[in-house]
Structure 1
Amino acid sequence: MCGICCTVSLCASVDTNLHQDNKNLRRRGPDRSQQLIRSDPALNYSCIFSGHVLHLRGELTPQPIHDDNGNVFLWNGEVFGGIEVLSAANDTSVMFQHLTSCDNEHDLLSVFSKVQGPWAFIYYQSKNHSLWFGRDFFGRRSLLWKCSDNLKEVLSLTSVAESPADTDDWQEVPASGIFRCDLSTCALLKSISLTWFPWVSELELSGETVHHEEHKWILNTLPKCVTQLNVGSDRLLVPVSPLNTNVPESLPEQKKVSLEELKLLISEEYKKNIQSFVNVLSEAVLKRVLNLPRLHESSSPAHERKANVAILFSGGIDSMILAALADRHVPPEEPIDLLNVAFMMRATNQQKAPLKKCSHRKIPGSPLTGNNSNPDALPADPFNVPDRMTGRSGLEELKALSLTRIWNFVEINVTLGELKQMRQQYISQLVYPLNTVLDDSIGCAVWFASRGIGTLRTDEELKPYTSTSKVVLTGIGADEQLGGYSRHRVRFNTLGYKGLLEELSMELGRISSRNLGRDDRVIGDHGKEARFPFLDENVVSFLNSLPISEKVDLTLPRGLGEKLILRMTAVSLGLSSSSVLPKRAMQFGSRIAKMENSNEKASDKCNRLQTDLID
């Protein structure tokens, strides 16, 4: 994972110190930083490239990478399939070799059509003065762009904006294809024109289909310096199978199903699909937890071993399944960090009991049994939020499932004062250009969780702990594909399976602009890489191939019908209570949504983000 940046200048002189102080980029890539300039005095343009590397794979390869022909490449991505990368190789070098061997734009687009995995890139092709850039189909890596009337910085591309003063006019590059900038033409016209190469399915590839609505949307979101957007004659091939749109002829009646009946349903009807899903998701997790620089030797004492893989962990079904599958592939002597975040709840009139020190308190049992039967009830401990309780319950399930694994349940507690301080110092810049209350809540929660600074509870004592993992697994993508949100149930109740299919198709289409760029910027700020197993191309293709009724059954009650195939998968993996937990959004489970202003709507612009940017 890297922080990448490029600035295009359409004048003779260039400021060589332009990116030297980009602290946000350096935080993303702490292992190596360098800068490179490519210019053509005859055509009167220059490009400054800046790369900041987080080393995860093969030999440490400084960026920007370049060759004797003048080509320059910046890569913020991971090749998990489609193009062979040997276990000891570096995928940046492999990608650069493929690109420099391309004779034409069709060959170059074919390379990116093959790549499986998250990516954002900038590639300067010297022989035809072209600057290529773009993001993967789901937009799993951030790339921002902006324009300026100043010809010394007429077009800028970056993983993350540099500072509060620099956040004006940045927008996310649409994850709708790849863009090419002909620098010789731009230098002549003193303006930026682009060619857009959109993603198309195999059915569309043979035709002349142009996504008119998408084209119109991109035109409306272009930076102001882009005076023309052409549509290229070649296309990128969509890396996943199309969504199966077959629906049942009639809706089944509403019914209730217990956990025991769910187990019976698995064995009688869905076993083949569940096993196939386990296989494809397990392979996706495998690719994301191996080939890492391990931080310890297997001979080290258990208490000295460091985790190389962390999971954003609420104890909900998504994170539980990721943990159970990670346990299959992470070396057994290696700990796995479970990062669980809680925001301090405000005291109420009903909360009169004095607080005790956490280090002397018994660990609560399952939130689904005994006195903790209501995980939404306000506990005496101000950090005993719903996700903390389900997280502890999930930890006990994982311990029973894997007796020898060391599970580091990291309790990350955030006070209001620290939230305000970190939002102003870091988070507001990372969330930008997104700006809603929902972006603030999730951005802050993910930033604190992925930072991994908290406490571990051992023998009834709390000890300070900081996660050393450079890889953070997150369950995003499960709800979007499997009807996990309450709005999916509303849509189903109104328009049936057809309406639900339309909603799920829209969810996956907009995930790049709603979630993934923001989450990549936020997690990457800690010098860590976000990885999304549920958005692995093979996982999405498998789920897309299934009829909707075999993935979701919203005639079943909440906690069963949504993400039905995932719940049955959880049971097949040996999980129990977590398989029937209802969906709880991160902003509510962590209680950040209740911390400052509970009267806001998720879609409102967040004044706190705007104020912190201005300050």
Structure 2
Amino acid sequence: MCGIFCLLSLSAARCAWSEAVHERLKRRGPDSSQDVTVGGTDACYRCLFSAHVLHMKGLLTPQPVQDHTGNVLVWNGEIFGGLPVMPEENDTAVVSQRLSSCDGPSDILSVLSTLRGPWAFVYHQKAGDYLWFGRDFLGRRSLLWTFDAEVNALTLTSVAARESGPTQSSWQEVPAVGVYRVDLKAVAEAGCVTFEVYPWAHGGRDLVSRNSPAVLESVPSGCTAVMNRSGLVLTSPVCPLNTSIPKLSDEEEIHPNSHSHVTDLEQLLASKENNDEVNRLTYVLSEAVRRRVQSLPFKVQDDSPSPDELASVAILFSGGLDSMILAALADRHIPAHQPIDLLNVAFKLQVPKKPKESARRPGKRQNKPTDCKGDGADPQTSSPFDVPDRITGKAGLGELRDLNPERRWNFVEIDVTKEELQKMRQERVCHLVHPLETVLDDSIGCAVWFAARGIGYVTGHGDPRPFTSSAKVVLTGIGADEQLAGYSRHRVRFTASGHEGLIQELEMELGRIPSRNLGRDDRVIGDHGKEARFPYLDEDVVSHLNSLPVWEKADLSLPRGVGEKLLLRLTAKRLGLGQSAVLPKRAMQFGSRIAKMEARHEKASDRCTRLLTE
């Protein structure tokens, strides 16, 4: 993973760039930093490239990479398929070599279309003087853009900095609808920037048309985006969503019996059809996890423990269905002598103020103490950090120990106070979440930032001891709910509009996940010099789930905790998991209790004033 940056200046004057942005880019890539400038004093444009590398595979390859013909590449990505990459090779070097052999646009699009894995890049193609940039089909790596009309300069970067005060920022996320090309000679002559768009396409049908409003809204002020005149497209790495509807329109609702939900899943798993489908999903998910946890470099310092004592992989862990499956599959592919870090974040429960004795009405029944599902700490709990995700996390840890008692599972209890939350939000998180700014972005961004930092406590045979996760790879379960109808809004839509409405909702979910979630999470996790990896958004997993009719993925006529993500729950049972297979969905902001820590009368979509810098 890397922090990448490109400043395209169309004026003779040198453009200064923010030291704050530079520092955030260096935190993303602590292993190597380097700048390269192309254009020179005689050119009518200048491009400053800056790259900061987190070494993850093969030989350390400093960036920007400049080949023998003068092409320049900054690359923030991982190749998990499509292009052959040997264990000793580095992804960046392989991509640079392939791009160097390209002549026209169709060659470059062919290379990018073959890649499997997350990526964002900026590439100066010297022949013809073109600047290419973009993000992968699912937008799993961050790339932001802005244009400064005063100095006539375009900036592309992995991470930006939020300006102080309530002023509207000009930063936007580059839409993940294709890749973009700038004709540098033409824009230098015109004095303004035009992007040619090369869209992703399913079977020749480009995906820009349905997303054109979002693209146009995100184009920096002073710039223009146009479809490329040649009609060239990128081939989508995933198949289209199966939109078939069940033949029987009046489906009989299934009412659960008095037996447990686990028994329901076992009965469903016993049928051959479900059995085969579970086997197929288990295989593709297992392969997705394998590609993301193997062949990782590990640096050993003179004063550090041996590699066998430190984890290379961590999981954002709530003990819920999605993270439990990732842990169970990672257990298959990580050597048994290596630990796995389970990162569990909790925000301190606020104890409600006791009413004054005089304010109590005589004879009125007093409320019972609030349990961990409410606003305050239950007096019976042992800690103000016993939030729902901490409780289910510990239960999940027990299930994993039953699966593999030989593995050392480091359950990292990451406790966050209100004071530390407010301090780190202002210093770090508000800039990383930017340009997103809702209450939900604040809650998720802060929770993920503290979790990924991995500083907390682990409890072994004695008292809790301080612990800092050594893992550079952080697995996250995002993508499961969006594809398998895991949110409560999916059930609402199904109740109102049946399978047709549910399919439309799922199609929308996957289409907006780059702009709603993935760029933000990449920026937040990358701030610790760690790499976010998304197994549920592996191209093979997405294609497999897209190919299935919706009723094989979820059955929302079944009760909560069974019907949503039904196929994934059956997979959990196949993997040997127990109660975690039937836990209902609980959003991270509620499970960690960050949503209860500060303002409590907000909507998730409200603009969050706490993200404003002072």
- The CA distance in 2 between the partners of 1:443 and 1:146, in whole Å, is 22
- Map residues 526-605 of structure 1 onto 2, 5 A cutoff: 526-605=528-607
* Cα offset, 1:92, TM superposition: 0.3
Q: Which residue matches 1:220?
A: 217
Gaps of 5+ in 2: 356-370
- The CA distance in 2 between the partners of 1:426 and 1:539, in whole Å, is 33
**Number of residue pairs aligned between Structure 1 and Structure 2:** 584
- The CA distance in 2 between the partners of 1:291 and 1:542, in whole Å, is 25
Does residue 229 of structure 1 match 2:226? yes
Of residues 443, 446, 461, the one that matches 1:444 is 446
- Map residues 142-291 of structure 1 onto 2, 5 A cutoff: 142-151=142-151, 154-162=153-161, 164=163, 168-204=169-205, 211-232=208-229, 233-248=231-246, 249-250=248-249, 251-256=251-256, 258-268=261-271, 269-291=273-295
User: Could you tell me whether the CA contact under 8 Å between 2:204 and 2:233 is conserved in 1?
Assistant: no
- The CA distance in 2 between the partners of 1:544 and 1:386, in whole Å, is 32
Gaps of 5+ in 1: 352-373
- The CA distance in 2 between the partners of 1:598 and 1:20, in whole Å, is 32
Single out whichever of 277-286 and 239-248 deviates more from structure 2: 239-248
Counterpart code for 1:44: C
Q: Which residue matches 1:108?
A: 108
Does residue 404 of structure 1 match 2:406? yes
User: Could you tell me whether the CA contact under 8 Å between 2:162 and 2:435 is conserved in 1?
Assistant: no
Counterpart code for 1:260: T
* Cα offset, 1:163, TM superposition: 5.8
The 3-state SS of whatever aligns with 1:584 is coil
Of residues 330, 335, 349, the one that matches 2:334 is 330
Does residue 136 of structure 1 match 2:146? no
The 3-state SS of whatever aligns with 1:458 is coil
* Cα offset, 1:196, TM superposition: 0.3
Deviations 1:184-211 (A, max 9, x none): 001001110110011110252xxxx674
User: Could you tell me whether the CA contact under 8 Å between 2:473 and 2:532 is conserved in 1?
Assistant: yes
The 3-state SS of whatever aligns with 1:61 is coil
User: Could you tell me whether the CA contact under 8 Å between 2:177 and 2:207 is conserved in 1?
Assistant: no
Deviations 1:83-123 (A, max 9, x none): 11111110000000111101110010011111110000000
User: Could you tell me whether the CA contact under 8 Å between 2:7 and 2:156 is conserved in 1?
Assistant: yes
- The CA distance in 2 between the partners of 1:46 and 1:142, in whole Å, is 23
Does residue 501 of structure 1 match 2:503? yes
Single out whichever of 37-46 and 536-545 deviates more from structure 2: 37-46
User: Could you tell me whether the CA contact under 8 Å between 2:162 and 2:430 is conserved in 1?
Assistant: no
- The CA distance in 2 between the partners of 1:263 and 1:481, in whole Å, is 23
User: Could you tell me whether the CA contact under 8 Å between 1:302 and 1:333 is conserved in 2?
Assistant: no
Single out whichever of 37-46 and 60-69 deviates more from structure 2: 37-46
* Cα offset, 1:261, TM superposition: 2.7
* Cα offset, 1:218, TM superposition: 1.3
User: Could you tell me whether the CA contact under 8 Å between 1:37 and 1:49 is conserved in 2?
Assistant: yes
* Cα offset, 1:503, TM superposition: 0.1
The 3-state SS of whatever aligns with 2:46 is strand
The 3-state SS of whatever aligns with 2:464 is strand
The 3-state SS of whatever aligns with 1:195 is strand
Q: Which residue matches 1:364?
A: none
The 3-state SS of whatever aligns with 2:457 is strand
Does residue 491 of structure 1 match 2:493? yes
Q: Which residue matches 2:395?
A: 393
Counterpart code for 1:222: V
TM-score normalised to structure 2 length? 0.92
- The CA distance in 2 between the partners of 1:132 and 1:124, in whole Å, is 6
Q: Which residue matches 1:356?
A: none
Deviations 1:6-44 (A, max 9, x none): 000112242477669711100000111010000054541
* Cα offset, 1:242, TM superposition: 1.1
Q: CA 1:451–1:164 in 2, change beyond 3 Å: closer, same or farther?
A: farther
Q: Which residue matches 1:369?
A: none
The 3-state SS of whatever aligns with 2:120 is strand
- The CA distance in 1 between the partners of 2:16 and 2:49, in whole Å, is 10
The 3-state SS of whatever aligns with 2:70 is coil
Does residue 125 of structure 1 match 2:125? yes
Counterpart code for 2:67: D
Single out whichever of 187-196 and 15-24 deviates more from structure 2: 15-24
Q: Which residue matches 2:346?
A: 342
User: Could you tell me whether the CA contact under 8 Å between 2:142 and 2:518 is conserved in 1?
Assistant: yes
Identity rate, percent: 54
- The CA distance in 1 between the partners of 2:22 and 2:240, in whole Å, is 40
Single out whichever of 10-19 and 20-29 deviates more from structure 2: 10-19
- The CA distance in 2 between the partners of 1:2 and 1:459, in whole Å, is 39
Deviations 1:452-473 (A, max 9, x none): 0000012241100000100000
- The CA distance in 1 between the partners of 2:527 and 2:326, in whole Å, is 23
- The CA distance in 2 between the partners of 1:598 and 1:327, in whole Å, is 39
Single out whichever of 226-235 and 339-348 deviates more from structure 2: 226-235
- The CA distance in 2 between the partners of 1:433 and 1:425, in whole Å, is 16
Counterpart code for 1:379: D
- Map residues 448-527 of structure 1 onto 2, 5 A cutoff: 448-527=450-529
Q: Which residue matches 1:312?
A: 316
Q: Which residue matches 2:367?
A: none
Counterpart code for 2:222: C
- The CA distance in 2 between the partners of 1:68 and 1:336, in whole Å, is 42
TM-score normalised to structure 1 length? 0.92
Of residues 414, 424, 427, the one that matches 2:426 is 424
- The CA distance in 2 between the partners of 1:350 and 1:509, in whole Å, is 47
The 3-state SS of whatever aligns with 2:458 is strand
- The CA distance in 2 between the partners of 1:349 and 1:493, in whole Å, is 40
Q: Which residue matches 1:96?
A: 96
Q: CA 1:20–1:48 in 2, change beyond 3 Å: closer, same or farther?
A: farther
* Cα offset, 1:164, TM superposition: 4.0
Q: CA 1:247–1:210 in 2, change beyond 3 Å: closer, same or farther?
A: closer
The 3-state SS of whatever aligns with 2:4 is strand
* Cα offset, 1:339, TM superposition: 0.1
Q: Which residue matches 1:36?
A: 36
* Cα offset, 1:546, TM superposition: 1.0
The 3-state SS of whatever aligns with 1:22 is helix
